Structure 1
Amino acid sequence: MNDSAVAYRTVTIAEKGESIVALSASQAVRLQEMRFCRVLPTSDEGIWRVTDVSRVGVVGLDGLRLIIQPKTPLRSLIFMASYGGSQIAVDNHAFTFEADSDLPTALAASLLHAIGLATRRGLLKGYVAAAETSTVVRGRWDVSRQLKIRPGIPSPVELTLDDYTEDVPENRILRAALSALSRRERLPERLLKELSAALVMFGDVSDLRVNGPLTMPPLSRLNAHYQPALRLARWVIEATSWARQAGTTAGSAFLMNMAHVFENFVGTVLRESLASDGFDVELQASGWNLDVDGRVRMRPDIVISRRGQVITVGDTKYKVWGPGSGSPPNADVYQALAYAVTARVPEAHLLYVSGDVEPQRYLIAATGTTVVAHAISLDGTPEELVERVQEVSAELLGTRGTGSGMIAADAGRSRRSRGTSVRTV
């Protein structure tokens, strides 16, 4: 049953900063149990302070519908969630939701549009291994299973065959996302009808069982047209299943991790932009250790290398940072410095969310390392979002304004000549 039939008191809070909210004691406890924010009492009974919000979306708790409004425009959020480089079509028709929609409504509208485009010629089909018991031999005779189940009995036979079917992982993921939205979210009646109609199309597709992080099918020539829909479906499934995976018994929840969306978008654009010049971009790099014994482990968000040699390291920070923010948080600078020292590169980069602000450079006196803070505005059209990250890619390599994607021999000097602020720490 869709929870739109339940009477809810709706409260909207901001992702950024703190919000004062009227909650019952049980609502406050259950909200705290979800571990995406801090819930602190105030001096007034029944009034609570909600801070340190790390996810956006909607939570339903004991008659309360709490909407966490993202600081990022919904249109930009949906575009970043669906972005996959050359596979995404940048057009206004992909964003048909109203400007005042909440996140589940916006994602549902965009997912339905993406699925419609992906399935214009029917559902994707593929070969799936299947087991069958039959008196007629087709496929391959599974001798080991035959001996285990019917030792010494020649008929019926146990067979293994490749079935050409719509019941493939791609369709299971889309079906799971449609089911999650239609079952759990208070959506407009029009969208609920469209979700129901779309689910009919996936009637012969099995349920998806998700235990832990969702494994996406590898990109191929056959499923390339499914990619925008699959990326949106991934975020829908993660948003609806996160509360359950976190071990909470809280009510209906649709919570998206915007830090992951931002990191994935920036990394994907960088990878696409730099590939033609022979650079490799590794996201969430593993196997990095700060100490010799390997006890202090690190996981940089972005590692750019060429021919196996690390060129620079970056870390995305889904935090607002701009002209009035002062220096970046010390912990962020320490983290970037540790990455640079470990990789033995002269610079490391911090990528924040903000408006139009020039990169700020912090020269670390003890090591000669420079930590560069960048701000990427998430306002504007999809094309503008991509262009801003592409501009940052030139900053990361010290090639902005050189007219080339290659690293200049005097990159260090050219970076200091761009007019950005340089501070010694």
Structure 2
Amino acid sequence: MTIELAPIPEHGRSGPVRLTRETRAALVAAAGERLVIHATADPDVVTIGATSWVGALAVPGLVVRVMPKVSVTNFFAMLGAGVSPDAFDHEHVTWSDTDELIDGVAYFAIRLIDSATMRGLVHGYVAREERMRTIRGRLLVEEFARRPWSAAEPQCRFDDFTADIVENQLFRCTLQAMLSWPQLAPHVRREALRVLGRFEGVADTPATKHAAALPITRLNEHYEDAMRLSRLVLQAMSLSHEAGDQQANSLMVDMDDLFQRWIAQELDLRLAPEMRIERDEDVWLDEGRALTMAPDLVVRRGSEVVLVGDAKYSMGADGYVASRDYLELVAYTTAMGLPTGLLVHCNSDRAPESEIVIRNAGTRILCRPIRLDGSYAAVCRSLDSLAELVRELVEAPGEFEVPALIRSRR
């Protein structure tokens, strides 16, 4: 059985679904924060609600799919946040809105891994200890003294120049994770198997080993784009839950988090080198430094903080940004001594006011939409306009007038 939740908005809800006890138990155990399972009066019937996560989750007997409320091309642009423009070639990674999103994500990752490794795998020195018939590297005398009967194969420590390094282990792990998706399209599976063949001799590793970013060096810099996307794919496929003999698989992406990271990176590219964007920088709210919050966007010019903002993909149920989003920005601007806060939001049929002024404080909150349901060229123009707005706010914070483009949306 396959359930597709309404793509606009993601926060859709299915009708009543009758499941076996085993499938329901596996779904409840695997859903976590990705889906909301609502019980009904009938213990075998549930309704399934979407959250900010998109993609698919599969348990035996059931697949739940949630499509993003953005065009698939724009979704891949967001997924490739931080990937160089040369690597993200829209003519080659564009995936039809009617095609399977999971296949598209997998194909995008495979292309980057293929491109990074087509001229051969990066090799590096790895410290090893082995029992050998001939001495190699350093003889471990202490071990030899403890086990003199093993003199025929003494323990040696040496540096092995090999392809079995963390970077290649990350790629192998990512390809294997994608191949574990039970409904991967045959042509995508063939591509994954073809590229996986290059990693013969590279050890299998768990996804948890690759959570942290690896340092970029002169030797592995051409791996950077593929490593960044591989880590994101592993995070999206990190679910592997067993309830008895029930196995669950998922490839789901949190659009709230993805939208925040994407906006920060796109603005950072457009504002450099005069300004830079910091994410999740702790802001002390009180004099005693007991309360902290982390804005999505902190704009710095040199060491000076010149603007603070938030990026919100999910809108309120009535089409308006929730009041708490305004309250967070008021707290940030007050604590940081800034006159203006910027709220970037995603698609909405009923957009919030483009500017509000806080009573008795004079703080202004500017709301700017980035619509993701149009063409990629239109999205780029919106991002350019957003960057220009930031520059105007920074250059003349007390004299800024809301541009006609924004006023027209009121």
* Superposition TM-score tier, normalisation by shorter sequence: 0.7 to 0.9
* Among candidates 328, 335, 356, match of residue 335 of structure 1: 328
Q: Residue 300 of structure 1 aligns with which residue?
A: 295
- C-alpha change, 1:137 and 1:50, in structure 2 (3 Å) is same
- C-alpha change, 1:64 and 1:244, in structure 2 (3 Å) is closer
- C-alpha change, 1:71 and 1:393, in structure 2 (3 Å) is same
Alignment of 1:342-421 (within 5 A): 342-354=335-347, 360-398=354-392, 407-408=394-395, 410-416=396-402, 418=404, 420-421=406-407
- C-alpha change, 1:397 and 1:180, in structure 2 (3 Å) is same
Q: Is 1:259 aligned to residue 252 of structure 2? A: no
Q: Please give the TM-score of this superposition, normalised by the length of structure 1.
A: 0.81
SS at match of 1:414: coil
- How far 1:22 sits from its partner (Å)? 1.2
Is the Cα contact below 8 Å between 1:83 and 1:228 reproduced in 2?
no
Is the Cα contact below 8 Å between 2:340 and 2:397 reproduced in 1?
no
Q: Residue 265 of structure 2 aligns with which residue?
A: 268
Is the Cα contact below 8 Å between 1:359 and 1:374 reproduced in 2?
no
Q: Is 1:311 aligned to residue 306 of structure 2? A: yes
User: d(CA) in 2 for partners of 1:421 and 1:228?
Assistant: 39
SS at match of 2:367: strand
SS at match of 2:325: helix
Structure 1 window deviating more from structure 2 (194-203 vs 294-303): it is 294-303
Is the Cα contact below 8 Å between 2:55 and 2:251 reproduced in 1?
yes
- C-alpha change, 1:381 and 1:176, in structure 2 (3 Å) is farther
- C-alpha change, 1:73 and 1:344, in structure 2 (3 Å) is same
User: d(CA) in 2 for partners of 1:232 and 1:21?
Assistant: 36
- How far 1:13 sits from its partner (Å)? 0.9
- C-alpha change, 1:151 and 1:80, in structure 2 (3 Å) is same
User: d(CA) in 2 for partners of 1:384 and 1:146?
Assistant: 68
SS at match of 2:38: strand
Q: Is 1:114 aligned to residue 112 of structure 2? A: yes
- C-alpha change, 1:92 and 1:421, in structure 2 (3 Å) is closer
Q: Residue 216 of structure 1 aligns with which residue?
A: 213
User: d(CA) in 2 for partners of 1:360 and 1:346?
Assistant: 16
SS at match of 2:208: coil
1:244-274 CA-partner distances (Å, limit 9, x unpaired):
49xxx76222222222222221111122222
Paired residue total: 398
- C-alpha change, 1:306 and 1:225, in structure 2 (3 Å) is same
Let me know the Cα RMSD of the aligned residues: 3.4
SS at match of 1:194: helix
- C-alpha change, 1:252 and 1:152, in structure 2 (3 Å) is closer
1:17-41 CA-partner distances (Å, limit 9, x unpaired):
3332413274455434422232224
Q: Please give the TM-score of this superposition, normalised by the length of structure 2.
A: 0.84
User: d(CA) in 1 for partners of 2:366 and 2:227?
Assistant: 34
Is the Cα contact below 8 Å between 1:85 and 1:268 reproduced in 2?
no
Q: Is 1:188 aligned to residue 174 of structure 2? A: no
- How far 1:220 sits from its partner (Å)? 3.4
Q: Runs of 5+ in structure 2 lacking a partner?
A: none
Q: Is 1:10 aligned to residue 6 of structure 2? A: no
SS at match of 1:196: helix
Percent identical: 24
SS at match of 1:227: helix
